[in-house]
Structure 1
Amino acid sequence: MLLIHCPHCDETLPEAEFTYAGQAHVIRPGNPSDQTDEQWEEFLFLRANPKGPHYERWRHFHGCGRFFNAVRDTVTDRFLTTYRAGAPRPDLSSLTERLK
């Protein structure tokens, strides 16, 4: 069972409390009507699929209901950190150093 820390509630709870909401830090188009079909395809469907640390968006569905971001290692399925939506991305080098 995965344990996820909600940065809003300051609680670490089972994964069943949360809902995955996709890749974090996806920049939405400023003026949607100016986008080409190829740009829409990239925005809607193409996402990173890294082996290792990955920035993700989660929602504490059965708790506060708020969205937050997380860095999860896709190899080990371990959460390296969670942080509030809108906060800057944490430095991956400092997070991965703790794993060594």
Structure 2
Amino acid sequence: MLLLDCPCCGQRGEETEFHCGGEAHITREGPSSDDAAFEHYMFERVNPRGVHFERWRHVAGCGKWFHAARDTVTLEVWGTYPAQTSRPPEELLEKIRAARPGFKWRDIA
């Protein structure tokens, strides 16, 4: 069972209080995009073995969206942060890199 800290209201809860909204930090394509870009946005998601950045909503609490970094193998939650950011906080990335030397995820080095 995952234990998540909501960065919006400060409450800690089990994953049943939250709803996962899929991969975080993806480029959303609109109606003016070409077919290949829209297809990539709609259907191509990563499913890594290891650290993954996801969107979560605190449905049993404040109802707000936030991002979480977690390990898909060990279920370790590295941290959570507000959804209004375009990339994970540097201190969170440093924490992950310290435990996982050479960690790199997509364009987030």
- Could you tell me the TM-score, scaled by structure 1's length? 0.86
Deviation at 1:20, TM superposition (A): 0.4
| Pair 1:75-2:73 in alignment | yes
1:4 deviates by 0.8
User: Equivalents in 2 of 1:99, 1:35: separation in Å?
Assistant: 37
Greater strand share, structure number: 1
Deviation at 1:99, TM superposition (A): 7.2
Structure 1: unaligned runs, 5 residues or longer: none
Aligned length: 98
Moved segments of 4+, more than 4 Å: none
| Distance in 1, Cα, partners of 2:79 & 2:96 | 8
* Ranges in structure 2 where 5+ consecutive residues have no aligned partner: 102-109
The two structures, once aligned, show a CA RMSD in angstroms of 1.9
Q: What is the CA–CA distance in structure 1 between the aligned matches of 2:57 and 2:28, rounded to whole Å? A: 19
Residue 34 of structure 1 corresponds to: 33
> Secondary structure of 2:32's match?
helix
The CA distance in 2 between the partners of 1:28 and 1:52, in whole Å, is 24
Residue of structure 2 in register with 1:18 after alignment: 18
Tell me the CA shift for residue 98 of structure 1: 4.8
* Residues 58-67 or 85-94, more deviating: 85-94
Alpha-carbon separation, structure 1, partners of 2:89 and 2:47: 19
* TM alignment of 1:82-93, pairs within 5 A: 82-87=80-85, 88-91=87-90, 92-93=93-94
Paired AA for residue 35 in structure 1: D
- The 1:99/1:3 distance shift into structure 2, 3 A limit, reads farther
1:97 is matched with 98
Which residue does 2:3 correspond to in 1?
3
Identity of aligned residues (%): 43
CA–CA distance in structure 2, aligned partners of residues 40 and 9 of structure 1: 34
Name the residue aligned to 1:59: 57
